[in-house]
Structure 1
C-alpha cells in the first residue's frame, strides 16, 4: 500500500483543530485525494461536525473512540489510528493526504513518528498570551504552530506582540502563523506550508486577490 502524507493536528480543547480541518478539507478536496481521522474519548463529535458541514464525503471521515487518554492513541499506542488510516486507504487506493486530529490534549502531547509525517499544533488567544512561553512539545517541536482566534485578542486582553515574541523564543527557526480560522485568515499560508513541506504537487488554480493569508505569513 502506497504511503500517503500524514499530517497530525493537535492542540487543547476548543483551540480550533476541527475548524482547521474543515477549512483544509474545503480548500483541498477538489484538488487532492484526502481523508480525515478524528479522535475523541467516548464520542465521534468531531467527525460528526465535519460531516454536518459537508467537509468531505462520509466514507472519507473516520472517527476513532479512544476510550481513554487521547494522548496514548497518538503516541504510545497508535494502533487504532493506524488501522483507521489503513481502512481509508483500502477505500481510496489513490489517497494522497490523511489528516489525523488528536483529542483535546495538553501542551505535552506529541504524535508518534509512524502516525504523522508533519505535525501542526493549534493554540488560541483566549487562553491568554502566556501560552507560547509555557512551552511543551506542541509549542516547541511541532512543524507549524498556529495561534488562532486573533480576532478576539483585544477582547480577552491578549497581546499578539507578546505571543509573537515568546513564540519566536520558544520555537527558534520553526515557523508559526497567526490565524482566524473561522473566517479563513491565515489558511492560505497553512495550506502552502503543508503542500511544500509534504512535497505534494501544486494543483490549485492561482488565487486572484487572495488576502486571507497575506497578513499571516509564517514567522520564525
Structure 2
C-alpha cells in the first residue's frame, strides 16, 4: 500500500515565520540540518561556519535529546564565538522539537538575534534521526538533509521525507565509498529519481574544499533571502 507522506508525517506548522522583525528589518535566514545519527550534520555545520563566517553574521542552534554534545563540539572547534552557539535539550524524539513543538528552538533563535544583533544566517541542527525527519516551516526557511555513503547506497532509493523533500540533499563521506562498497553513481541516479529537480551535493569534509557545494548553495539562498520582497 502506498503511504502518502503528507498524511503519515503531518506538518503541524504550515506557514513560514514572518520574515521581518517588529522594527521592519529583515530577520536572519534560518536553515535546518537534519539526518541520521553519524551522517555528519555537526561536521557540516562546522564546515559551513568556517567557510562563511567572514562573509556573513552567523549563529547556530543545536539539538540533542539529553546532552549539549553537538554545541560543545562546535565550541571546542571554535567555529564561531561562544555567544553565537546555543543548545536545545529536547528530552524526547528529535522530531518533537523541530517539527511538532518548535517553541524551544524558536526561542533559542530569537534570543540569539536579540543578544547578538542582526544576523544573516542561523543554522538549526536537529538531533540525529531517521529518514522521516523534517523541519516545521514555522521554524526554518529551508532545510538540508545529510546522509552518508557508509549508511548504504540504497538510502536515496528508499526515499522518505528527508531524502525526497529537503531543499538540499547532502550525500556525505564520499571518501568511504570504495571501502564500504557504495556506488556513488547509483546513489546519484536514485536521488534524481526521488527528488526530481531538487539539488543534491556530494561532500567529503576531510578535503580542503569539501563543503564548497553546500556553502555555495547557502550563499544562493542568502542572496534570494536578502533580495526578497519587503
The runs of at least 4 consecutive aligned structure 1 residues that moved more than 6 Å come to none
Residues 19 and 182, structure 1, Cα contact 8 Å, conserved in 2: no
Aligned partner (choices 99, 102, 108) of residue 84 of structure 1:
108
State the TM-score, normalized to the length of structure 2. Answer: 0.85
Q: Residue 205 of structure 1 aligns with which residue?
A: none
| 1:188 and 2:188 aligned | no
Report if aligned partners of 1:195, 1:201 keep a CA contact under 8 Å in 2. Answer: no
List runs of 5+ in structure 1 lacking aligned partners.
203-220
2:143 equivalent to 1:96 = no
| 1:41 equivalenced with 2:65 (yes/no) | yes
Match of 2:179 in 1: 155
Name the counterpart of 1:61: 85
Structure 1 distance, partners of 2:165, 2:225, is 25
Contact 2:29 2:225 in 1 (8 A): no
Question: How many Å separate the matches in 1 of 2:157 and 2:201?
Answer: 16
CA RMSD in angstroms, aligned pairs only: 1.4
Deviation of the 1:147 alpha carbon:
0.4
Aligned match of 2:222: 198
Residue 173 to residue 103, structure 1, CA distance change in 2 (3 Å): same
Do residues 11 (structure 1) and 35 (structure 2) align?
yes
Change (3 A) 1:183 1:18: same
Q: CA deviation at 1:150?
A: 0.5
**Residues 1:22 and 2:46 are matched in the alignment:** yes
Task: Describe the superposition over 1:49-84 as per-residue Cα deviations: whole angstroms up to 9, x where unpaired.
Answer: 000000111100001000111111000110000000
More helix by share: 2
TM-score computed with the length of structure 1 as normaliser = 0.88
- Counterpart of 1:211 in structure 2 is none
**Matches of 1:53 and 1:40 in 2, distance apart?**
18
The offset of 1:161, in angstroms, is 1.2
Count how many residue pairs are aligned between Structure 1 and Structure 2: 202
